Amino acid sequence: MLHGAAITLTEAHGRLQEDEIGELWAATRQSRGAESVSGGTRSCPICTVAMTSILVSVDADEADDGECADGEDSASVWIDVCEPCQLIWFDRGELEVFPVDVVDAEPSAEEVASIAQVVDGFGAAYAAAVSAREASTFTERAYRFVARNPGLLRALTTVGSLGRE
């Protein structure tokens, strides 16, 4: 006889709809003093700390609450969550209340091109910034090292002038 099921937050993204996960996790992070939260009585099966009970609204769509595409809630369920372990516990029958995640559509060619443009621009800017930082950091460190060691400065001057005479 199954008493419940535990899934990780990562696994939830493959099973539950995004709006319910977002609501659940936002309430979990803001659990102190929130009306939609009660002190849990279930211990986390991983770390044994008391889990937090979060009230989650369930609906058939993936639209966030308040968006124009957000439909009527079909249920509200208290779910136990362990934030440090990122573990979600469903008592018997609770997981079945949640609609299965709708597979996201593949991005269009325009979206892929737009993403590639952003990635390329960011990558080039990042590479330039790292290069500039490394150059200025090394130069600055070398300058300070030589400035603190007058004997090294004389030696470098001597070596630099060899063959110029």
Instruction: Looking at mean pLDDT, say which of 111-115, 132-136, 145-149 comes out highest.
Output: 111-115
Query: Which pLDDT score is estimated for 102?
Result: 73
Tens digits of per-residue pLDDT, 12-32? 888 888 888 888 888 888 875
Tell me the β-bridge partners of 55.
78
Amino acid occupying residue 76: S
Domain parsing of the chain, residue ranges: 4-97, 109-161
| pLDDT, mean of residues 76-90 | 91
CB neighbour class for 160 (10 Å; exposed up to 12, middle 13-18, buried from 19)? exposed
What is the β-pairing status of strands 75-82 and 87-91? antiparallel
The confidence band for 49, taking pLDDT boundaries of 50, 70 and 90, is: confident
Q: What burial letters (b/e) apply to 39-57, b meaning 16+ CB within 10 Å?
A: ebeeebeeeeeebbbbbbb
Q: Which residue has the tokens 């993936």?
A: 62
Query: Which pLDDT score is estimated for 36?
Result: 44
